[in-house]
Amino acid sequence: DGGITQSPKYLFRKEGQNVTLSCEQNLNHDAMYWYRQDPGQGLRLIYYSQIVNDFQKGDIAEGYSVSREKKESFPLTVTSAQKNPTAFYLCATGLGSYEQYFGPGTRLTVT
Amino acid sequence: SQKIEQNSEALNIQEGKTATLTCNYTNYSPAYLQWYRQDPGRGPVFLLLIRENEKEKRKERLKVTFDTTLKQSLFHITASQPADSATYLCALAYNTDKLIFGTGTRLQVFP
């Protein structure tokens, strides 16, 4: 956890609604990441950003969008185009390929 | 594409014994290999990093080895304790951008 906060911890939404997950950090790290974790699967990279106002798609970006207007913040929007949005979402910061620091996660349930 | 294999079956050991977890990968060796601990419902926590030119790295009761010939890393916890029970993830870094995570192995230490 450390200097990374994610809110809320649990989130419930109806199918067809967009929802935005918050991620804030005070570690002064340039890089920030969003992962999705499903039962029995590893962490899969959704989007990442190495600098303000720039971000790249990860392996499963479809149905998601991000912004990086401030160094401290990297919100993730799960759009209605995401076919299976129910999952555990993890935000992380890091120093490139060195260790990453993870937030506590947000568990999203869409019904 | 790169594939990482960690034993999906849980590892059950008795307190005081040494736990050994395996991480195998395909294709070319990463520049860095990392191990993380994840408790249920929480974000992963970084434990150790080993570089491709290092054979072994130690931290307290933890030891990591890296064999680029076998394409394998072993993660050891000596004198294991019930508090060591968690899921352990290995992650590979090939460049400065991002990590690729394995699915993790759940360790259960019984008193």
pLDDT for the residue A96: 66
- B76: pLDDT confidence band, cut at 50, 70 and 90? very high
Task: Give the 3-state secondary structure of residue B68.
Answer: coil
* Percent of chain B scoring above 70 in pLDDT: 99
**DSSP-assigned letter for residue A96:** T
- Which chain B residues are closer than 8 Å to A7 by Cβ? none
Encode pLDDT of A35-57 as tens digits: 999 987 889 999 999 999 999 99
Bond prior to B40 in cis (omega within 30° of 0): no
Residues contacting B63, CB < 8 A, separation 6+: B56, B57, B75, B76, B78
How far apart CA B28 and CA B82 sit, in angstroms, is 36
Of B49, B96, B101, the CB nearest to A99: B49
- Residues of chain A with pLDDT below 50 are 1
pLDDT for the residue B3: 82
pLDDT at B105 over 80: yes
- The residue of chain B nearest to residue A59, with distances taken between CA atoms, is B100
Of A4, A99, A103, the CB nearest to B34: A99
Average pLDDT, chain B: 92
Tell me what the mean pLDDT of segment B55-61 comes to.
Answer: 95
- CB spacing of B34 vs A1 below 8 angstroms: no
- Which chain A residues are closer than 8 Å to B35 by Cβ? none
Among chain A, residues having any CB pair with chain B shorter than 8 Å are 1, 4, 33, 35, 40-45, 48, 50, 56, 58, 88, 90, 92, 96-105, 107
